[in-house]
Structure 1
Amino acid sequence: MILEKIKSEGVAHLSYMIIDGNMAAVIDPRRDIDVYLDLAWQQGANISHVFETHRNEDYVVGSQALAQATGARVFHGQGGKVEHAEPVKEGQQFEIGKARLSVLETPGHTFDSISLVLADTTFSDDPIAVFTGDTLFIGDVGRTDFYPDRREEMGAKLYDSIFNKLLPLGDGVQLYPAHGAGSVCGSGMADREFSTLGYERRNNPMLQLERDEFIKTKSEEHHYQPPYFRKMEELNDKAPGGRALPQVKAASPQQFAELVETGMLVLDLRTPEAFCGAHVPQSLALPSDVLPGYIGWLVSYDDELGLVTDDPASLEDELRGLYRLGYENVVAYLVPGTTAWEASGEDYATIPTLSAGALKKRIDDREDFVLLDVRTLEEYESAHIAQARHLYLGHLPDQMDELPRDKPIVTFCGSGKRAAVAAALLRRQGFSRVENCLGSMSAYQNLGYATTTE
């Protein structure tokens, strides 16, 4: 019996593949399914079962694509009907060779959430692992805010699912959730991706709360819901088929410039330092590790997209990341990069940068400027500069008119990456006096400068 964990960076998604003999099952597959087909081929196995632990909001599932490629049956909790899957209910069992997967209905994150309990029937019917989807994470539990008018109800369902169904499986049972640290589905997840139910029962902060306090905490939690969540729900009701990544044209600087003239939106995936130093005018900065969490706030699915990266070897990974989020309208990438753009004689833009020390001096000198902190509310409340104005990056496009155009604006975040995105957005909308504080809060605190929580 083989259990493989497949991690999708960016959205911090975890899917799983169980192989025993010539049979295989996949749990919560991502849209680009080659990894599962390759594993099955290597092990001489046929993918016969595909399970979805719930309807996902943060990435496009690959269930239908896998079914089309392999003839596998797709299963989904009966609490939420989707066109491409057969409903399953509590107690149903599926044999994958000597491996047995049993269904637990574990609502709370969503009404259709299920968990899958794994047993190795060669030895025992006792559970050895459980795949919990977004119900229970390592270090955290699932969010319950997708039904705003029913938060207390969903909090109660989540508590009961965890304490009445999952934890009784046994302390030694291994835990396999659908997300790891960095996911928008939970803010308190541990960096490690291995745990047991017993460890979580004793050490997961949320599992130390009594039922009423748990429900109250979940009801009052603050989460952001990017607009693209609705698009993911729409896509995942049907689960798109197909396997191929979008075909993208390699464009010379002249060809790239012509596409920009016809309305192509340029996504610059480089570091903040590189972007601020020189970029294609009107580009949107989206450093690769920031892109998954924020593109859904800032970029329409209807936009034609052009990519700029100075590492051509990373292009396939970038395309996969966009594909998993439903962005297929990528028409070109700049070759061989911004150096060629500059050498071609095409115009380029820059954004001034500011060190944390220089920022502190401006504050001490009482200069008249806006310090724009674009981090999450939780980050801002945990520590911020007293003079800062908070405006979450995802909300910036809709709230930009609240900012003065007659004052310099310094963008600020945790490291300077999101601040670069904010600076690019402001410049695209005609704010001319914009600077990015590289290093931002990390540098400010490392220099020992005072922050506040008030």
Structure 2
Amino acid sequence: MFFIDTIEVPGLGNRSYLAGDATSAVVVDPARDIDRVLAAAARRGVRISHVVETHVHNDYVTGGLELARTTGAEYLVPAGANVSYQRVPIADGDRAEIGPELTLRAVATPGHTPHHTAYVLEEGGRPVAAFTGGSLLIGTVGRPDLVEPRLTEQLARAQHASAHRLARELPDETAVLPTHGFGSFCSSSQATGDATTIGTERHANEALTRDADTFVAELLAGLDDIPAYYTHMGPMNARGPAPADLAPPAVADADEISRRLAEGEWVVDLRSRIAFAAGHVAGSLNFEADGQLATYLAWLIPWGKPITLLAESTEQLADAQRELVRVGIDRPAAAATGTPEEWVRAGDRPRSFPRATFADLAGADGTQVILDVRRDSERTGAYIEGSVHIPVHQLRARLAEVPPGTVWVHCAGGMRAAIAASMLDAAGRDVVAVDDGFDAARAAGLPLREG
């Protein structure tokens, strides 16, 4: 009898897997913090005999190499991947014996990357699950534009063909277990559920219900912005990442926090946007620990810039540090826990700014600047007439484009508006953070234009 455990990485919208029998197991696409996988294997009482990668990842730092070294497992990486470390190169049709009845079969599925490989888990020769990585996702596929712009259309066509190969070769009841699609920007669109099978995807997945030309045209038209930090993930994974260092960072007092801000370093407040608006260190930036912390902080921060973290508790700080090592932000320069009153120098007071709803905006006097920080693809649906549009990931470089006056900043739900509001506040602007769902803008009577 086999088992499959899902190991969620919700901050990045990804999953990895532990699968095996009573004694041995394989790990698929592990994140960098391998202690969670080791704990899962210990709970099962199994030895990790194999670690496999479906591709060289663009959205997170792999833990595969370190996990294989720690456990002595064979490390299977697609043969076409250009990596600089020792591994077992795996090619289409190759098999790995996981247990007496369990076999892992490699299936070449190019598209997300040229070397992408899915792995079919077979019990007694019968396919029971397909670890599809960034190929066939739930209702969608992995995006084909992360490798090289000149290859994007070619890879999109390969993605269509790979999806059809999986659907053609596997029984309807085969579970489809992707790595991406749960919020990751590696997905070409949001996954449409939590679990699926080949049979379900045959009728629901855009790659399997459209002809190749239509699929490719629609896929390319719908591609969204690529997080800037993706540029660093592939090379880091190809070189072989160092082990994650989760040791607590050095403690910063109020004077050191002030000094680091004065030197142009980033001081990031991990507390909720509600708490941050109510009081924070002047010049600090708000990236909520409970949001997509790793994605947006890694996207916005200049790569390699020192960072100091401010948290309300040691637990919040440790969780954030774990999130950040997954995207290559390895060691905070310093950190502090507590409250803003403890983080400002004697004689200074925390700053604050107001939060509001779209109804509040509708009732304002009309002299305010309305700043929309959603992505281009979101604004095409509808936007507030007269609003200025600067996506949050571009705001740092385009602050000078925000017109004078009090800025009411909004996104689709409030999290990105809070990031943008903190950036504007740090730049000395008067700001109001609209902490509301965009659907409420229409209900509030604000004038909307369709994109």
In the superposition, the TM-score normalised over structure 2's length comes to: 0.92
Identify the residue that residue 385 of structure 1 maps to in structure 2.
Answer: 384
SS at 1:452 equivalent: strand
Which ranges of structure 2 fall in alignment gaps of 5 or more residues? none
SS at 1:41 equivalent: helix
Q: Contact conserved, 1:179 with 1:185, CA < 8 A, in 2?
A: yes
Identify the residue that residue 400 of structure 2 maps to in structure 1.
Answer: 401
Sort the Cα spacing of 1:453 and 1:207 in 2 relative to 1 into closer, same or farther, 3 A: farther
Matches within 5 A, 1:104-119: 104-119=107-122
Sort the Cα spacing of 1:61 and 1:184 in 2 relative to 1 into closer, same or farther, 3 A: same
How much has 1:255 moved relative to structure 2?
5.0
SS at 1:81 equivalent: coil
How much has 1:206 moved relative to structure 2?
4.2
CA distance in 1, matches of 2:405, 2:345: 34
Amino acid at match of 2:8: K
Amino acid at match of 1:330: P
How much has 1:331 moved relative to structure 2?
2.9
> More deviation in 48-57 or 344-353?
344-353
Q: Establish whether residue 23 from structure 1 lines up as the match of residue 24 from structure 2.
A: yes
CA distance in 2, matches of 1:128, 1:229: 33
> More deviation in 407-416 or 100-109?
407-416
Identify the residue that residue 332 of structure 1 maps to in structure 2.
Answer: 334
Q: Contact conserved, 2:95 with 2:103, CA < 8 A, in 1?
A: yes
How much has 1:264 moved relative to structure 2?
4.2
CA distance in 1, matches of 2:73, 2:402: 53
Q: Contact conserved, 1:12 with 1:182, CA < 8 A, in 2?
A: yes
Q: Establish whether residue 91 from structure 1 lines up as the match of residue 93 from structure 2.
A: yes
CA distance in 1, matches of 2:44, 2:182: 30
Identify the residue that residue 120 of structure 1 maps to in structure 2.
Answer: 123
SS at 2:196 equivalent: coil
CA distance in 1, matches of 2:208, 2:373: 31
CA distance in 2, matches of 1:12, 1:241: 23
CA distance in 1, matches of 2:417, 2:132: 35
Identify the residue that residue 67 of structure 1 maps to in structure 2.
Answer: 68
> More deviation in 130-139 or 441-450?
441-450
How much has 1:50 moved relative to structure 2?
0.9
Identify the residue that residue 295 of structure 2 maps to in structure 1.
Answer: 293
| Deviation digits for residues 375-412 of structure 1 (CA, Å, limit 9, x no counterpart) | 112211112212222211111122223223x3332211
> More deviation in 387-396 or 179-188?
179-188
Amino acid at match of 2:449: T
Sort the Cα spacing of 1:301 and 1:152 in 2 relative to 1 into closer, same or farther, 3 A: closer
Identify the residue that residue 372 of structure 1 maps to in structure 2.
Answer: 371
Matches within 5 A, 1:235-274: 235-261=236-262, 263-274=264-275
| Deviation digits for residues 184-240 of structure 1 (CA, Å, limit 9, x no counterpart) | 122533363211011111122443211110121223233211221111112100221
Q: Percent identity?
A: 31
Q: Contact conserved, 2:341 with 2:350, CA < 8 A, in 1?
A: no
> More deviation in 16-25 or 252-261?
252-261
How much has 1:116 moved relative to structure 2?
0.2
Q: Contact conserved, 2:228 with 2:300, CA < 8 A, in 1?
A: no
SS at 1:38 equivalent: helix
CA distance in 1, matches of 2:430, 2:175: 53
Amino acid at match of 1:337: T
How much has 1:413 moved relative to structure 2?
0.5
Identify the residue that residue 223 of structure 2 maps to in structure 1.
Answer: 222
SS at 1:50 equivalent: strand
Q: Contact conserved, 1:252 with 1:336, CA < 8 A, in 2?
A: no
Cα root mean square deviation, aligned:
2.2
CA distance in 1, matches of 2:37, 2:437: 40
Amino acid at match of 1:308: L
Q: 2:357 aligns with which of 355, 358, 377?
A: 355
> More deviation in 348-357 or 173-182?
348-357
Identify the residue that residue 310 of structure 1 maps to in structure 2.
Answer: 312
Sort the Cα spacing of 1:343 and 1:254 in 2 relative to 1 into closer, same or farther, 3 A: closer
Q: Aligned residue pairs: how many?
A: 446
Amino acid at match of 2:64: S
| Deviation digits for residues 156-203 of structure 1 (CA, Å, limit 9, x no counterpart) | 111111112344312111000002421112253336321101111112
Q: 2:323 aligns with which of 321, 324, 335?
A: 321
CA distance in 2, matches of 1:409, 1:170: 56
Identify the residue that residue 140 of structure 1 maps to in structure 2.
Answer: 140
Sort the Cα spacing of 1:187 and 1:135 in 2 relative to 1 into closer, same or farther, 3 A: closer
CA distance in 1, matches of 2:22, 2:322: 30
Which ranges of structure 1 fall in alignment gaps of 5 or more residues? none
How much has 1:57 moved relative to structure 2?
0.8
How much has 1:23 moved relative to structure 2?
1.8
Q: Establish whether residue 129 from structure 1 lines up as the match of residue 126 from structure 2.
A: no
Identify the residue that residue 437 of structure 1 maps to in structure 2.
Answer: 434
| Deviation digits for residues 334-357 of structure 1 (CA, Å, limit 9, x no counterpart) | 232225346964432222333322
Identify the residue that residue 413 of structure 1 maps to in structure 2.
Answer: 411
SS at 1:153 equivalent: helix
Q: Establish whether residue 231 from structure 1 lines up as the match of residue 228 from structure 2.
A: no
